[in-house]
Structure 1
Amino acid sequence: MVPSVAHTSANAASSNPEASLASLKRRGRIKAIYILALVSSISLLCYYDRFVVAIVAQSIKADLHVSDGEIGLLSGLGFAVVYSVMAVPIARFSDSGRRVKTLSISLAFWSLMTALCGAATSFPMLLLARLGVGLGEAGGNPTMHALVSETFEKRWRGTAISIVVVVGGLGFMAASSVGGWIVDHWGWRAAFFAGAVPGPLLALLLWGTVREPKVANPVADERGILTSSKILLKRRAFKMLCVGLSICTIGSFAMMSWTPAYLMRHFNITASQVGSGYGLTMGVSTVAAMLVGGILADTLAKRDPRWSLWLPAASYVVALPFTVAFLLQSNLANALLLVAPMTFAAGLATPPAYALVQSLSGSKLRATGAALFLLFTNLIGMGVGPSLTGIVSDMFTHFLGADALRGAMALVASAYLIGACVMISGARTLIADIESADKN
């Protein structure tokens, strides 16, 4: 009788266990790289669809005859409230062992809503579509981070998540550069349509090629949302990270949402000029910051875990003077030169913060922890920052005139210092909180 291939392979594997182990490790690495590449592509699309509204703001303002306050609502509360509130229950569903399903469905849904943004013929219709984008993306980042965290071991987690965030930064750059070019050639509606097309294709690819990761003792079977949230918020370092970074992101989301419109108004340039100048500089600086931030966080945390909080706090303190200097420039070239250090400094905060959330959440609450973190940062930062800036700009118009938006952006950016102080205060219990998360 001729032995079967499976039997022969089994004998070969048993006779050479080292080769078998090396083969399994190699296949595991290939699988991890594939998942990282796919999730990173989804992250790019996620950030494009979220932030394309910044580059089309001036066109929407002119076409639909809306105020700065209403524009701020589109990029702020109109997106952030639904996104932040729904992220926690969706993450709980994801933590029950349905991460691939959650991300696939969420991606397909927010892509549909992005297309509806382009089809909107009035401000109420556009606002409703943006609410839909927020609902879909609520299942995005928390699940992406959890999926990557389950794929990579702890020592590589910060770097892997930083890659996802870096590619997300490329999505922001694409929203400014590619989106700006599309606006000038085909109009603001086409910029939304361009962001909607790849979503269903990526959703099908994820659903069909990636298996659900095994989650030991899925939390959804044991704990409710409130119980899980209370467990996380009892960890002081987690709470201070959420509150402190949320305050900082009031300023950073205000800058991200309003800088394209500010440059168009202050220097009288077009959307494509903003994209090729600011968009490219900001994108490269963001990518550099994400790469350096992830590696630097992993390196410093090995010496002292408290650097996971100190680094985000320090990055915003350094970013503030560059932000003020940027807003004071009367020369476009000088302003664009300051975009690089301003963006790089603030961007260093993101990878260590995301990685620390995963460490402070523990294996059972990864997606829930990420969603709760995003509930704080997006509801407060994304919700308040752009909306407050728009409202203050409308108020300042009466006595600052053309400089109203600049004054509003400078005022809101001062939140960096307050948030940094809050984060630093959480370092005292950080090590004990991480140990607690590992046990539960």
Structure 2
Amino acid sequence: MAEIDVAAEVEESLHHPAKEEAEKPYPKAIYGWYVVGILVLAYTFSFIDRQILSLLVGPIKRDLAISDTQMSLLQGFAFAAFYCVAGLPIGRLVDRYHRVNIIALGVFVWSLMTALCGTARSFLMLFVFRAGVGVGEAALSPAAYSIIADYFPPKRLGFALGVYGMGVYIGAGLALIIGAAVIALVSEGGSATLPLIGEIYAWQITFLVVGLPGILVALWVWTLREPVRRGHVRQETGADGISRRVEVPVKEVFEYMGKNWRTIVPLNLCYALSAMMAYGVAAWIPTLFVRTHGWTYPEAGFWYGLVIVIFGTTGVIAGGWTGDFLTGKGIRNGRMMVCAFTGLAAFPFSIAYPLVDDPWIALLLLCPSTFFATFTTGAGPSALQELMPNQMRGFASAILIFVVTIIGLGLGPTSIALVTDYVYGDEAMLRYSLAVVPAIVLTLAIVAGFLGLKPYLASLDYLKHWSTQNEK
């Protein structure tokens, strides 16, 4: 009987090499965490490069003689539009080609473009380079989500993706801290002369300093091993009788997501609305401390940067771990449950901190607000990886990032400004806008999260049915 079983296994491996490959043991955990560490480093650099412009508004406007509207285009549209548009085709490439190479090229492009921002002589040049930063950064997360899902078993995926998500908050926090120091250095203006580049303004050195090291990170990423694709991979048997992994047409990806829209839509909205609250308050909290509490921008940037680095990173890890824990306890929709409850946990603290009169109490309340608000960053992407077949994960992740960027980055900061300008009509009332808008947004996020709980279970069952039909 043993000999018959062995022969059967050999026969199976000859005709189903893709299946055999996907069922190999996961790589050693130490190497998987090494990969995550490098990806966290890349993610950190991406957010430093993305956020640093917002802290150089004054010097750039002064030295390039551009308007507030032009400055807003550099901060928002130039980056976000190209980031979103490029993300969808790149997400499709992630499902078809070598993901490590895609990330390495993306890191190289955005780092080079960030450095080139330090050579810009006009609004148009800076706009083009900022668009290049957006295109480069669009390559990272769809590929990183897919790679991490193939390096870690499902029971550890949420924690691993949570650790990866730390890069957002480390980068955003460091951008504030670095920016606080830069503001002091460049506030006096002046210029410097560099070899090959010539004379540049003091603020342009910042772009060179944060951009050029990223090229070394790109080379480091390029040394990583591409993992075997796992989890519900479509295979077809050719004329030679051998089963091979085949591409899933993009039309079928949309059909798959359409059949699971009752889960996909609430998950995307819950994550995007949580991001809208986070992006919105992050854009205005330093100004809150300046207008309401009389702090300077360097002071506000430094202290809020520390809050983001400490409580943002721990929150995103805790969110991913909690999703894994609940799933491991047999709660199949545990990751979606984390997304639904994170708004409830963050709600009281997010409403309270703008309304208190003591700046240190406000800063203290910001800590749990930031901690709980970031849970979705760890649980949301891992939930999506759990729901999608392997060859659809990159594109599905790109759509998620598209929605999060449009709603979160596109509407978050502006919604708070609109309430301040057109509801209260007084910039001194910013503190009330920072209470009202998050209250509404978090409520909508909670509703979206709870609407997705029951359909999530049906989507998991549908994935099993799909795999049965496509892995024969």
SS of the residue corresponding to residue 426 of structure 2 reads helix
Deviation string for 1:307-330 (max 9, x for gaps)?
322222221233233222222233
Aligned CA distance change for structure 1 residues 132 and 102 (closer, same or farther; 3 Å): same
CA deviation after TM superposition for structure 1 residue 96, in Å:
0.7
**Structure 1 letter corresponding to 2:268:** C
Contact 2:45–2:214 at 8 Å: present in 1 too? Answer: yes
Deviation string for 1:233-257 (max 9, x for gaps)?
4212122101232233222211122
Decide which of 242, 264, 275 is 2:268's aligned counterpart.
242
Q: TM-score scaled by structure 1?
A: 0.85
Instruction: Determine which structure has more spread, i.e. the larger CA radius of gyration.
Output: 2
Q: Between Structure 1 and Structure 2, how many residues are aligned?
A: 414
**Structure 2 letter corresponding to 1:41:** L
Aligned CA distance change for structure 1 residues 43 and 198 (closer, same or farther; 3 Å): same
Contact 1:49–1:196 at 8 Å: present in 2 too? Answer: yes
Contact 1:396–1:407 at 8 Å: present in 2 too? Answer: no
- Correspondence for 1:92: 92
Contact 1:248–1:418 at 8 Å: present in 2 too? Answer: no
> d(CA) in 1 for partners of 2:352 and 2:82?
34
CA deviation after TM superposition for structure 1 residue 354, in Å:
1.2
> d(CA) in 2 for partners of 1:68 and 1:385?
18
**Structure 2 letter corresponding to 1:151:** Y
CA deviation after TM superposition for structure 1 residue 352, in Å:
0.9
- Correspondence for 1:51: 51
Q: Does 2:207 correspond to 1:192?
A: yes
CA deviation after TM superposition for structure 1 residue 64, in Å:
5.8
- Correspondence for 2:3: none
Aligned CA distance change for structure 1 residues 436 and 26 (closer, same or farther; 3 Å): closer
Give matches, 1:21-100, under 5 Å. 28-57=28-57, 59-60=59-60, 73-100=73-100
SS of the residue corresponding to residue 157 of structure 1 reads helix
Moved more, 259-268 or 409-418: 259-268
Which is bigger in relative contact order (C-alpha 8 A, separation at least 6)? 1
**Larger helix percent:** 1
> d(CA) in 2 for partners of 1:292 and 1:39?
19
Give matches, 1:208-227, under 5 Å. 209-215=223-229, 222-227=247-252
Aligned CA distance change for structure 1 residues 345 and 272 (closer, same or farther; 3 Å): same
Q: Does 2:339 correspond to 1:326?
A: no
Q: TM-score scaled by structure 2?
A: 0.79
CA deviation after TM superposition for structure 1 residue 81, in Å:
2.4
Moved more, 262-271 or 190-199: 262-271
CA deviation after TM superposition for structure 1 residue 141, in Å:
1.0
SS of the residue corresponding to residue 442 of structure 2 reads helix
Identical columns (%): 27
SS of the residue corresponding to residue 28 of structure 2 reads helix
- Correspondence for 1:256: 282
CA deviation after TM superposition for structure 1 residue 226, in Å:
4.2
SS of the residue corresponding to residue 295 of structure 2 reads coil
Q: Does 2:260 correspond to 1:232?
A: no
Aligned CA distance change for structure 1 residues 240 and 27 (closer, same or farther; 3 Å): closer
Aligned CA distance change for structure 1 residues 221 and 125 (closer, same or farther; 3 Å): farther
- Correspondence for 1:358: 385
- Correspondence for 2:342: 315
**Structure 2 letter corresponding to 1:332:** P
- Correspondence for 1:169: 169
CA deviation after TM superposition for structure 1 residue 394, in Å:
4.7
SS of the residue corresponding to residue 211 of structure 1 reads coil
Q: Does 2:108 correspond to 1:108?
A: yes
- Correspondence for 1:15: none
Moved more, 228-237 or 151-160: 228-237
- Correspondence for 2:220: 205
CA deviation after TM superposition for structure 1 residue 155, in Å:
1.3
Deviation string for 1:160-184 (max 9, x for gaps)?
1111112332112111112322332
Q: Quote the RMSD (CA, aligned, Å).
A: 2.8
Aligned CA distance change for structure 1 residues 69 and 385 (closer, same or farther; 3 Å): farther
CA deviation after TM superposition for structure 1 residue 157, in Å:
0.9
CA deviation after TM superposition for structure 1 residue 149, in Å:
1.1
Moved more, 113-122 or 151-160: 113-122
SS of the residue corresponding to residue 210 of structure 1 reads coil
Contact 1:245–1:420 at 8 Å: present in 2 too? Answer: no
> d(CA) in 1 for partners of 2:288 and 2:47?
20
Contact 1:248–1:417 at 8 Å: present in 2 too? Answer: no
Aligned CA distance change for structure 1 residues 39 and 331 (closer, same or farther; 3 Å): same
- Correspondence for 2:372: 345
> d(CA) in 2 for partners of 1:263 and 1:126?
30
CA deviation after TM superposition for structure 1 residue 153, in Å:
1.4
Aligned CA distance change for structure 1 residues 349 and 30 (closer, same or farther; 3 Å): closer
> d(CA) in 1 for partners of 2:270 and 2:162?
20
Aligned CA distance change for structure 1 residues 263 and 78 (closer, same or farther; 3 Å): farther
Contact 2:316–2:374 at 8 Å: present in 1 too? Answer: yes
Aligned CA distance change for structure 1 residues 221 and 191 (closer, same or farther; 3 Å): farther
SS of the residue corresponding to residue 88 of structure 2 reads helix
> d(CA) in 1 for partners of 2:121 and 2:287?
21
CA deviation after TM superposition for structure 1 residue 192, in Å:
2.9
**Structure 1 letter corresponding to 2:224:** V
- Correspondence for 1:288: 314
Aligned CA distance change for structure 1 residues 326 and 134 (closer, same or farther; 3 Å): same
> d(CA) in 2 for partners of 1:57 and 1:373?
30
In structure 2, stretches of 5+ residues that fail to align are 1-23, 187-201, 236-243, 468-472
> d(CA) in 1 for partners of 2:215 and 2:259?
39
Aligned CA distance change for structure 1 residues 288 and 29 (closer, same or farther; 3 Å): closer
Decide which of 381, 395, 401 is 1:374's aligned counterpart.
401
> d(CA) in 2 for partners of 1:387 and 1:60?
21
> d(CA) in 2 for partners of 1:363 and 1:434?
14
Contact 2:56–2:203 at 8 Å: present in 1 too? Answer: yes
SS of the residue corresponding to residue 327 of structure 1 reads coil
CA deviation after TM superposition for structure 1 residue 104, in Å:
0.8
SS of the residue corresponding to residue 328 of structure 1 reads coil
> d(CA) in 2 for partners of 1:33 and 1:162?
12
Moved more, 237-246 or 111-120: 111-120
Moved more, 245-254 or 359-368: 245-254
Moved more, 282-291 or 182-191: 182-191
